[in-house]
Amino acid sequence: MSVGTDRERFREKVRVCLHAHEDHVALRKLRRNRQLTSTDLAELSSDTHHFLRALEPR
């Protein structure tokens, strides 16, 4: 498997994950280049394991 293929698969997983979490307030702010509050950062930090699990190989 080439490196480019792995990168494309990863990019697609990220797109799917972000699409699945469109209602996540902090992610929406990041997408729109809005300033994050300390609450947003705490929320992202607590949800990191969930996002990473969604990107694991299947």
Q: Report pLDDT digits (tens) over 1-50.
A: 455 568 888 888 888 888 888 899 999 999 899 999 999 999 988 888 77
pLDDT of residue 2: 56
pLDDT of residue 37: 96
Q: At CB < 8 A and 24+ separation, what contacts does 4-10 make?
A: 10/55
pLDDT of residue 9: 85
Quote the pTM value: 0.64
Q: How far apart are CA 24 and CA 7, in angstroms?
A: 25
Number of domains in the chain: 1
Q: Show the domain range for 24.
A: 3-55
